[in-house]
Structures are given as structure tokens and as C-alpha cells.
Chains A and B, each alone.
Chain A
């Protein structure tokens, strides 16, 4: 009985001490840069310490990015929280706002970053390396910066397509409404995946923002859909296995899968949409100098080339060549995609879609 009480008193004391320490830490150390670094005469102290990076990028890219950053900015250690689902990372950052644990949020469509920025959960920062980036690929308020483009395309299972659909591969989104596709298509869920929503928004823009026509399209498309998987890679895996015939999905991911399974094909219909992969600093970061150094590095040519090589995506930098065989913004026919509008109307459109298809 007494040991129990002792332990409880100890816990109380321990938490009280921690409380004092936490408050003290918050007021006395706004810049945790060690005094050694601050003492260097160069004016801009070298960033040191650790930063925590919440990354929605794939494993290989994460590893190579950490390696590259370490070479460029020695002295900063990265704690990586990898979760290839930007929506979960966004939710996590939101849930942690009382005591933020992330310094950097990288990867995922800019709409995920934009949402956090509008809620005041991001630290605005305009990197000197962002000056060369086109203005539609970065936030005017500096909350996030784009570092890659992802283009939306269609994956088809060649064998099943030839046997069950026939003819040329789809060249327009309307081709997917053919009754031959009934129950043979999948689409990453518009609710949980960035791509699923970009698919809806693309239809809206394609019909000149006539939402009735767009929802009518989504309804007809729905008749051909067997499932809306929770993540984009699931949709690619299902088509790659031949469980289903086709899926609208990311061109770069389809190419990565094609490298392993030649039995699939990529086609890009005219009037397609695209994503901008973003990177941002989370408000409350305890190591801003290092976080800024990370953003600066991600926007370098070197990091851009790494990303292109590892993921087939298109760099936002004009001086980075695209991956061999990968489509670029210039090589495809894009819809007039208004990112701000798409981001601002996301919840409303997805709900309208849910009602239209009855999900």
C-alpha cells in the first residue's frame, strides 16, 4: 500500500518537475542553437541539432534525401517519421498542435499543406532557392513550397484490356464510361487519397466548372467502378495483378510499377490534372535554422534530380531533366487546373460526389 502511494507521489513530483522544465525551456530558449555555433564570426550561424521530418515520400527517396542532406548540411540529424499517407500526417500534425513534434512536413499534394497553413499550423518561410520556382508551385503566403509535379494518368492491365475492352488505350476521360468497363475499374478513394480528389476536380475543370456535368460524369464513371481503395498504391496493385482492368492514377507510380511488371501500361488522356508535392515547416518547430536549411536543400537542383531519378516525378526546377519516358507538364495536354479553387472547394465537392454516387 505504501509503495503504491510513494510511486504516485513520485509521479506527481516528476510531472511537476517536467512542467517547470517545459515552461522554463519555452521562455528561455527560443533559439536552441548552441552557443558554440552562435559564436562563429560568419554572421549566419551554421544550423545544428536535430529536426523531426514527417514524410509522405517513399522509403528509397527518404533514405537518399537524408543521405544527401547530411552531406550538404553536416551537423543536423534527422528523425524521420515516414508515413506514405499525407492525409494521416496532416491529421497527426493537427492532433499534435498542443505540443508540436514535427519540424518538417514533406510530400503529398499541396492541398494537404495548404489546409494546415490556413489553420495557422505552418511556419511561413520563403527560401532563397524558391525564387526560380514558378509562382503557381508555391504558396503566396510562404506556408509551403512545391518541389515536384505529379501528373495524373491511367493504368491498364494489358492482357485484360486487350481481351475484354479492345481497341486503342483510352485517350480521353470519357473513354472510361464505356459499358465494357462495368465493374472493372478502381479509383483511389476521393475521400482519402489526393489523387482521387484531383480526379474529381479535373472533371470539374474539364467541364468549365459546370459541377452538374462533372457530377454526372462521376455518376456514370461510378457505374464502372468496383472499389475506391483507401490508398493510391492499392489501386495500382489491384490492376497490376489483373484483378481489375484499369485505374486512373499517378503516372510516375504507374511507371515505377511497370518497371517490375511489364504487363501494364500507362496512358495519359487529354485534359488531365496534376499535383504539386509540397514541403513546409510546422509551426512550433524548436529548430528553425535547421528546418529552413532542410527546405533550402530540398529545393536544390541536386535534390530535384534525386527525386526525379527515384520516383519518376517531375521537378519544379526547369534545370532538372525529366526521367526517361516520363511525361512532363509540357508533353501532356493539361486541364486548366485552378489549385486554389480546388483546395478551397475540396470538402464541398467531395460531399457532393458522395451524394451523387450514394457513398
Chain B
């Protein structure tokens, strides 16, 4: 508090951040949640159709989060600690599942592993019914492990090698070091990873909708209500239930963190190498990562093959005719790139700055801001979009460019991951470093800019990458906002899928995903050297 009063610029910054959060996260959501009125809530709750989806949502969240975080941890550990070969390849693979536009990728899973799947039936002669709980579980594990991987890798790469070396020198074996030094130090990162992954799984609509069979979860129910009954009442109630669950997760995460300190970057610099991991661990890590990579490549390979064949899988004649759609809809590709890059840059910086204000602040009410910055993860994209369509589609706002509005929605919808990464990162950096800067005469803001930001390159990178890939792949947020001039790739893909144009849809998806990967590689190449954009590479 005192520091705020002493530094008016910090106070102003806090006011601006709070104002933006209230305008672009809280207000649109309130517009949606206030639609039903109390009678609507009572009416819907007493109908009782939400009980089963609620149970299902909890089951799925527990199962998928567990496996996704485990997989994410193994992947992150392999990338940061072991000396397995092919890390640049695995780094790209670790982002691919995030780049799965709705409909197409889940459809590829059914093509591969469905009752007449290419692998299940044509290779193994099996006819499994993957629709349902197990289907959702499997697909979500693959779809969400990258979130956990990114967050955990960021934290692992910042853990102090000296502590591990010290433990080894004192006679601890590799396993004991892992269990008693590495694991405890990554607790804030693990907590953040579990929380974020769980909230995203909870909110996930695309996978359960395609592969859920008769297994309804809350987001699919809310979607059905809104698009089938145009029932904002029921949908708002379901959305409220989702937010309450997210709040519950958040509270339990705070409990989990406890009040412990996790400082691993102290005032004294060190450049000690990590103790080597046993060779057998490296080999196992390579095998595990390769198996995962194979699965992911299989899915994307399916897309590439069907983009280049006449009518996959019934007619495998080579053709380039589907590629024409890429040119015909190049506007949506260009928009996607522009909106995605702008949103990612703003979102990453904003998330980091907000993380600094919350984590380093001592002012009252920061817990509330903390939750508000994580909350968008629990808001299904559809609600975020409808909230924006209701809140910002007013006659006096008609001058607002729709492309800009879409970009703003992407910035704020995707803040949680970058924010979580920033907070987890800051918690590992000793406050004595900030204090050193301020006692040398720098303001708190200057200390943040010149000292902390350069040390948080990894967190910035996590925020940028996840916002970008989610902005590139979201359909539900833009479906109520796009105009002919601001159409994006996912809208085009959705349109092609519903046109029975699977070839065109896959061709366009491949173009969209390739464009996103190239953009990320270019940004990484440009960013290297200036800030440690690839801290997770360590």
C-alpha cells in the first residue's frame, strides 16, 4: 500500500489494468449472466437437466487433467533435463495439438480410431466404440498436455541447478534428487499447470461435442441450450455453474500452494550445469516422446493426406483441387494471422504486467484481480463471444472496427495461461532482485521492465504462444462477431465442413496450421537474442 502511494505511476498502472479487466472480462460476462433474472435461474435449476452433465464434467476433468499433466510433466522433464536428441522437433510437436481447429482434428481421430477407423479397423480389425467417456478422455489428454508441458517446462528450466548439484554431492541418487529437490521446487508451476489444464478441460466444448457420443458435459449442454433453444437463461445458468467450479479449483490451488516460498533464482547468479540424468532415463524419455509424436503426426498426417486426395478415405486419387480453397479464402487466412499476432503480443505483455502487479503487490483486493485474470479460461468461448456481441454491439459503438473487437476478445479470453506463467515465474525470482533495483534508484516499474522482464522470457513466450495458437484456432469466440471483412480461418473451415467439403476443409486446416507454425518460428527467431524467448530450451 505504501509503495503504491509513493509511486503514482504504479497506482495508475493498476487502475488501467483493473479498468481493462472490468471492461473486457467482467462486463461482457455480466451481460450474459444477468439475462435470466432470478426466476430464470430457479426455473432452470429445478428442471434438473444439469445434474448429469455436472457429474460428467467433474469425472472428465479429473481424468483428463491427471493424464494431461502427467504427460506434460514427462514431456517437460525430457525436454529440460535429459539430453535426448531431436529436441527442436519435439518442441514443434508439443505445440501441434494446441493448433487443432475445432471439428477437423477430432474428426481425424474418428477417421483413425473410430468403429471403421483406418488404424482400428483396417489395421487391427477392431470396431471399438470410442464415442463417449473414453474417447473424450483420450482426445483431451492429447489436446491439453501442451498447456501443462509449456507451464512446467518454463518452471523446470528456471529451477536452480546448484541445489540439485549440492544434493548429488551430498550422496543423493538421481531419483532422490528428483523427488526431494526438483519436484518440491516446481510446486507453483505444477499447481498452475494443474489449475490451468483443469479449467481448460472443464471448459472444453469441441472435443466432447465431436467424440462425446451420448456423454453430455456442461459446455456441450450450454451450447445445445444456446443454439437449440436460443435459451440464454439455461445457458447462463450452466455457465454460472462452470464459473463456480472454476472458483472451486482456484481456491483449492491456493490451498495447495500454501504460503511456502519457491525461490530458485536468487540474487547470486550461477551458471552451473545440471547434474546429468542417467542414460536409461534419457532413453525412456525419448521413447515416450516419440510415441506421443507418432500419434500426433498420425493425426496431422491424416489431414495432409486428405487435403491432397480426391475423397479421403474412399477415393485416394491424388489431386490438388482442394488447394484452390486456400487462395479463394486468403482473406480469412490473412485476418487470422493479423488478429492472432496482435492479440498474442498484447496478451502476453498485458498478462505479464498484470502478473507483476498481482504477485509483487501487497495491496488489498489482489486476490480478486488474480481470480478475474484466470476466470476467462473457465468461460466457454461461445459465452465470451455472445458477451462481446451483447456488450459491444450498441449503436454508440458502431464506429468500432470488428477486426479490432475480435482481437480484443482474443486478448482477454487467452490471458490465463500467460498470466499463470508470469506469476509462477515471478514466484521463483527472489524479491531481493527487485529490491536491489529499487535501492539503486529505479522505480518499481523500471525494475520490472529492466530487470524482471528479461528474466521472464520463458513466461512471455508461453503467453505469446498459447494466445496465438488459441486465437488461430478458436471458432466459438468469433462466431457471433465476424463480418465479411473480418472473417477468420476457423469460420471458413466450419463452413467447408458443413458443405460436405472434407477435402477443402482439411486443405484449409493444413494451410492454417502451417501458417501458424511458420509465424511462431519466425517470431522465435526474431525474438532470440533480445529476450530469452526460449527459456524452456535451457
Contacts and interface: CB of A to CB of B under 8 A. Distances in A.
A and B pair up: yes
A26 interface: yes
B495 A96 contact: no
B116 A243 contact: yes
Contacts of B116: 160, 241-243
Contact of A22 (B393, B398, B480, B495): B398
Contact of B499 (A58, A96, A238): A58
Interface residues of A, number: 69
B397 interface: yes
B114 A243 contact: yes
A216 interface: no
A204 to B, nearest CB: 17
Interface stretch (B152-160, B222-230, B257-265, B335-343): B222-230
Contact of A253 (B9, B216, B223, B500): B500
B129 interface: yes
B393 A95 contact: yes
A101 B393 contact: yes
Contacts of B214: 225-228, 359
A340 interface: no
B344 interface: no
Given A226-B131, A237-B107, A192 B224 contact: yes
Nearest to A8: B16
Interface string A322-359: 00000000000000000000000001001100110011
B397 A18 contact: yes
A244 B479 contact: no
Contacts of B395: 22-23, 26, 98-99
A59 interface: yes
Contacts of A81: 482-484
B496 interface: yes
Contacts of B228: 87, 189-192, 350
Among A18, A26, A190: residue with most chain B CB under 10 A:
A18
Contact of A354 (B49, B315, B484): B49
A243 B230 contact: no
Nearest to A55: B495
A263 B117 CA distance: 16
B110 A238 contact: yes
B227 A192 contact: yes
Contact of A4 (B16, B117, B386, B393): B16
A314 interface: no
Contacts of A4: 12, 16
Contacts of A91: 226-227, 230, 386, 480
Interface in A202-227: 225-227
A115 interface: yes
Interface stretch (A131-139, A142-150, A254-262, A287-295): A254-262
Contact of A233 (B131, B209, B482, B498): B498
Nearest to B484: A79
B2 interface: no
B311 interface: yes
Interface in B356-405: 386, 389-390, 393-399
Interface in A91-128: 91-92, 94-96, 98-99, 101, 115
Interface in B1-47: 8-9, 12, 16, 47
A88 B9 CA distance: 45
A243 B211 CA distance: 12
B12 A1 contact: yes
A222 B183 CA distance: 49
Interface residues of B, number: 61
B294 to A, nearest CB: 23
A61 to B, nearest CB: 9
A19 B396 contact: yes
Q: Which of B49, B117, B131 has the most CB of A within 10 A?
A: B131
Interface in B461-483: 479-480, 482-483
Nearest to A119: B230
A1 B13 CA distance: 9
B433 interface: no
Contacts of A99: 393-395, 397-398
A271 interface: no
A189 B226 CA distance: 13
B397 A15 contact: yes
Interface in B265-315: 311, 313-315
A27 to B, nearest CB: 12
B110 A243 contact: yes
Interface string A10-47: 00001100110111001000000000000000000000
A15 B396 contact: yes
Nearest to A63: B328
Contacts of A261: 311, 314-315
Given A15-B396, A19-B396, A243-B116, A233 B499 contact: yes
B224 A191 contact: yes
A282 to B, nearest CB: 13
B9 A1 contact: yes
A231 B228 CA distance: 11
B501 interface: yes
B111 interface: yes
Given A87-B227, A191-B224, A230 B209 contact: yes
Contacts of B499: 58-60, 84, 233
A266 interface: no
A236 interface: yes
A18 B396 contact: yes
Contacts of B345: none
A83 interface: yes
15 contacts: A1-B12, A4-B16, A21-B399, A59-B496, A84-B495, A90-B230, A91-B230, A92-B479, A94-B230, A226-B131, A237-B107, A238-B110, A242-B116, A243-B115, A351-B49
Interface of B: 8-9, 12, 16, 47, 49, 52, 107, 110-111, 114-117, 129, 131, 209-210, 212-214, 216, 223-231, 311, 313-315, 386, 389-390, 393-399, 479-480, 482-485, 491, 494-502
| Cβ-closest 4 pairs across A and B | A84-B498, A191-B228, A191-B224, A242-B116
Given A351-B49, A359-B216, 5 more contacts: A88-B479, A101-B393, A183-B129, A237-B502, A257-B500
